[in-house]
Amino acid sequence: MQEVDVRLDRVTKDFGETVAVDDLSLDIHEGEFFSMLGPSGCGKTTTLRMIGGFEEPTRGTVYLGGRDVTNLPPYRRDVNTVFQSYALFPHLNVFENVAFGLRRKKVDKRDIDRRVREALELVDLRGFETRKPSQMSGGQQQRVALARALVNRPKVLLLDEPLGAVDLKLRKQMQLELKRIQEEVGITFIYVTHDQEEAMTMSDRLAVMRHGRAEQVGVPEDVYENPQTEFVATFLGASNLLDGELKEERDGISTVLLSGGDVVRLPSSRAPFRVGSAVRVGVRPEKIQIEADEGGEPPMGLNRVRGLLRMSTYIGVSHQYKVEGPGGAELTVWVQNLGARPAPRPGERVVLSWRPEHTFAVLPQGYAAEEEEAV
Amino acid sequence: MEQPVRSDLPVAERKGARLGRRLAPYLLGAPASLWLALFFVVPMFTMLSLSLQTCDPVTLACRLTWHVGEFPQAVGEFHAYFLRSIQYGGAATVIDLVVAFPLAYWIAFRARRKSFFLLMLLLPFFVSFVIRTLTWQFILSDQGLILGTLKNLHLLPQDFHVLATGWAVTAGIAYNFLPFTALPLYVALERIDPRVLEAAADLYASRSMAFLRVTLPLAIPGIFAAFLLTFVPAVGDFVNATILGGTSNLMVGNIIQNKFLLFTDYPAASALSAILMAVLLVGIALYSRVLGSRTIEEYV
Ligand SMILES: Nc1ncnc2c1ncn2[C@@H]1O[C@H](COP(=O)(O)OP(=O)(O)OP(=O)(O)O)[C@@H](O)[C@H]1O
Ligand SMILES: [Mg+2]
């Protein structure tokens, strides 16, 4: 693949008792849009700060473009940051804030003028040149912070929730702009966000972080379709998880006996565990078909469980169903509103079915506590 | 007064609440205004009028005669003292700024126990101004702790002296007014968000660049305040000149004091005070025009 641009090699950062980043290794490729997702306090900002040079790792090494920069001060790294807290210069107006980096690099005066105006145009802040940061709204300040970093066209741009305070419409527009710049100029983006949709749509790859570690790193589709831990399965999108035991593995097909008595099958590559392990079998809500239970057999080769429809919510483009499955497990089902079939009603017995290749398995782990933290 | 206006109250009462809210700032400002009027405006006009009066040298009974002669005479006779005051006060202020800035910077950004060091800075203030200055007289005396020792070691000639020179006065003023310089600087530096300095480093500013382009401009209001709080009282000071300066290094403050207490020449003393005030006000107005409308950014 492409060259590695940013490499974290077994990086740890302790703050006294707190381990903010825990033995983290990451390779981020040149020109890549790489996102970091994770609950509050999982170490995203700290990771960015170590790449930017504001925090020295307790252990481990940071490489930029193959060079060990662990002890290099920020101003000697060709990296710019959009800070979570904006950190605009209060004594400078918007123009001078954005021009700050260019002036330090002794860029030609006329070029500065042009590039600053372009950058301000990009973040939709034309005409704000002479305002002071204190005279702007949070979202506007955030866009100044974005322009101030972008204007330098660094090799690597670190963005710590850069659109968090921007309203939805402008946010969509700026997501497109950011993606365009990133591809045109070939900047490596390391992007922290709380917005899953943003991470999924914009990233080439993403990392789901937890407790200072990367739980899973990969292409958004892979991480979504094949989460490798229970945490990832529930943090990135919604998942239905059913307890069971891995019973058999034959011809690339694994069989799991659910605690409710049903048997489901899935490709063995999606359940790389020893036979006999306790596992949780997962399936995404939109992958499930729901129909009234008429006693008949569904098409061969599908996984299926029976249940009682508890609740049906109409959301316009789709229906959301809550189904009480075998052993009392609650399952969520989203069905696109095609209007082809009559929707089942609450209180009816239903059959849920889905394809084995849409099934995944993870090892059970206590995750409830962290999930609360994440909200 | 901050209660929301209740619509179920009679109209008159609601009006009262609104009136109260409108009056609140004035009511809150009243004590300070009264204080200023009583202890600043009245004495100032008394002083100005006194400078235009003529007094009987024996009975000290004064009469307003609109005699303006005191002013040219004060300037003619004592302009050297004005210049000397500005020189000593200015030099002491510069020394204080140079000493206090690193000190305040260190306490604001580096020190662990800030309040401890601030207390250390203020501790000399718990001793009377005069006693502190007398101590310096003792320390700097010709055969004292420092000079005596150095002379005994033949590192200094026997007739070397510091007391009764402008240096001693300047040093005394600088010493006495240091906290007035350090505290406003500390407050200004302490308010600077360290994350802004990180942003500067992120945008290719070395430490010295970040200092020049971010820390210093953000500290300018503090520097301005420190300058005012030091320079103004320093120029008018007479204690240091009296105790450390001997007879040949007197400042305007000494002249005013003497005219008032020794010679009871109230009109002359008042005229001198008025001139000193005018000089300082004009100087400060010019100075604030320069520092107020521009930042260091535009100089470099
Ligand atoms: N300077 C510091 N001193 C002590 N602890 C810190 C410091 N900075 C961060 N931490 C701790 O390290 C952990 C990781 O913090 P970090 O700021 O990296 O989280 P984050 O993933 O960016 O969270 P958020 O999504 O809320 O921004 C947290 O537990 C935090 O309390
Ligand atoms: Mg953060």
Q: CATH number, domain at B142?
A: 1.10.3720.10
Give me the residue from B196, B198, B203 closest to A54, CB to CB. B198
Residue B141 phi/psi, 5-degree rounding, is: -60, 155
The pLDDT assigned to A349 comes to 92
Q: Please indicate whether, in this complex, the C-beta atoms of B201 and A87 are within 8 angstroms of each other.
A: no
Using DSSP, state whether A179 is helix, strand or coil: helix
**Which of A12, A13, A15, A370 has the most ligand 1 atoms within 8 A of CB, as the residue to mutate?**
A15
Name residue, tokens 């000290």: B60
The pLDDT assigned to B8 comes to 54
Distance from C-alpha of A172 to C-alpha of A265, rounded to nearest angstrom: 40
The pLDDT assigned to B292 comes to 61
Chain B residue numbers with beta carbons less than 8 Å from the beta carbon of A72 are none
Q: Is any Cβ of chain A less than 8 angstroms from the Cβ of B201?
A: yes
Residues whose CB falls within 8 Å of the CB of residue A127, separated by 6 or more in sequence, listed in order: none
Distance from C-alpha of A310 to C-alpha of B235, rounded to nearest angstrom: 86
Kindly compute the dihedral angle of the four CA atoms of residues A62, A68, A73, A74, in this order, to the nearest 10 degrees: -60
The length of chain A is 375
Is residue B144 a part of any domain in this protein? yes
CA atoms within 13 A on the CB side of B213: 23
Is residue B239 a part of any domain in this protein? yes
Mean pLDDT by 10 residues, chain A (375 residues): 82 95 95 94 95 96 94 93 94 96 95 96 92 92 94 94 89 89 89 91 95 95 94 92 92 91 92 91 94 75 91 88 89 86 86 94 66 41
Domain identity same for B245 and B209: yes
The pLDDT assigned to A368 comes to 39
Residues whose CB falls within 8 Å of the CB of residue A221, separated by 6 or more in sequence, listed in order: none
Chain B residue numbers with beta carbons less than 8 Å from the beta carbon of A141 are none
Using pLDDT thresholds of 50, 70 and 90, give the confidence band for residue B164: confident
Using DSSP, state whether A367 is helix, strand or coil: coil
The pLDDT assigned to B26 comes to 87
DSSP H or E run through A360: strand A359-362
The pLDDT assigned to B95 comes to 97
Q: Please state, rounded to an integer, the average pLDDT across all residues of chain B.
A: 87
Domain identity same for B120 and B252: yes
Distance from C-alpha of B132 to C-alpha of B246, rounded to nearest angstrom: 17
Smallest CA–CA distance from B220 into chain A, residue: A91
Query: Among the atoms of ligand 1, which is closest to the Cα of residue A39?
Result: 25
The pLDDT assigned to A159 comes to 95
Angle between helices B129-140 and B166-190 (to 10 degrees): 130
Distance from C-alpha of A371 to C-alpha of A148, rounded to nearest angstrom: 35
Chain A residue numbers with beta carbons less than 8 Å from the beta carbon of B200 are 89, 100
Query: Which CA distances in Å does B271 have to B70, B232, B260, B264?
Result: 6, 18, 11, 13
Distance from C-alpha of A41 to C-alpha of A49, rounded to nearest angstrom: 14
Domain identity same for B199 and B147: yes
Name residue, tokens 């990009």: A122
Q: Is any Cβ of chain A less than 8 angstroms from the Cβ of B64?
A: no
Domain identity same for B191 and B129: yes
CA distance A113 to chain B (A): 16
Give me the residue from B195, B201, B214 closest to A73, CB to CB. B201
Give me the residue from A81, A91, A92 closest to B202, CB to CB. A81
Domain identity same for B145 and B201: yes
Using DSSP, state whether A124 is helix, strand or coil: coil
Q: Of B57 and B97, which is predicted with more confidence?
A: B97
Q: Is any Cβ of chain B less than 8 angstroms from the Cβ of A87?
A: yes
Domain identity same for B239 and B121: yes
Number of Cβ atoms within 10 Å of the Cβ of A46? 21
CB A56 near ligand 1, within 6 Å: no
Domain identity same for B276 and B163: yes
Domain identity same for B1 and B90: no
Is residue B61 a part of any domain in this protein? no
Give me the residue from A75, A85, A90 closest to B205, CB to CB. A75
Domain identity same for B22 and B102: no
Q: Is any Cβ of chain B less than 8 angstroms from the Cβ of A53?
A: yes
Stretch B151-159: mean pLDDT, rounded? 86
Query: Hey, of A69, A75, A85, A148, which one would you mutate to test binding to chain B, going by the most B CBs within 10 A of its CB?
Result: A75
The pLDDT assigned to A337 comes to 81
Is residue B64 a part of any domain in this protein? no
Structural domain boundaries enclosing B284: 70-299
CA angle B244, B248, B250 (to 5 degrees): 65
Is residue B25 a part of any domain in this protein? yes
Is residue B63 a part of any domain in this protein? no
Chain A residue numbers with beta carbons less than 8 Å from the beta carbon of B195 are 83, 85, 87
CB A46 near ligand 1, within 6 Å: yes
Q: What is the 3-state secondary structure (H, E, C) of chain B?
A: CCCCCCCCCCHHHHHHHHHHHHHHHHHHHHHHHHHHHHHHHHHHHHHHHHHCEEECCCCCCEEECCCCCHHHHHHHHHHHHHHHHHHHHHHHHHHHHHHHHHHHHHHHHHCCCHHHHHHHHHHHHHCCHHHHHHHHHHHHCCCCHHHHHHHHCCCCCCCCCCCCCHHHHHHHHHHHHHHHHHHHHHHHHHCCCHHHHHHHHHCCCCHHHHHHHHHHHHHHHHHHHHHHHHHHHHHHCCHHHHHHCCCCCCCHHHHHHHHHHHCCCHHHHHHHHHHHHHHHHHHHHHHHHHHHHCCHHHHC
DSSP secondary structure of A211-252: TTEEEEEE-HHHHHHS-SSHHHHHHSS--EEEEEEEEEEETT
CA angle B85, B89, B93 (to 5 degrees): 170
Smallest CA–CA distance from B199 into chain A, residue: A87
Domain identity same for B227 and B135: yes
Chain B residue numbers with beta carbons less than 8 Å from the beta carbon of A92 are 297
Stretch B83-87: mean pLDDT, rounded? 94
Domain identity same for B134 and B17: no
| ipTM of the complex in this document | 0.81
Q: Where are the alpha helices (DSSP H) in chain A?
A: 44-52, 94-104, 109-122, 138-150, 168-181, 196-202, 220-225, 230-235, 368-374
Is residue B81 a part of any domain in this protein? yes
Domains of chain A: 4-225 (3.40.50.300), 238-374 (2.40.50.100)
Is residue B59 a part of any domain in this protein? no
The number of domains in chain B is 2
Domain identity same for B79 and B190: yes
- Cβ distance A246 to A361 under 8 Å? yes
Q: Of B157 and A43, which is predicted with more confidence?
A: A43
Distance from C-alpha of B10 to C-alpha of A230, rounded to nearest angstrom: 64
Using pLDDT thresholds of 50, 70 and 90, give the confidence band for residue B2: very low
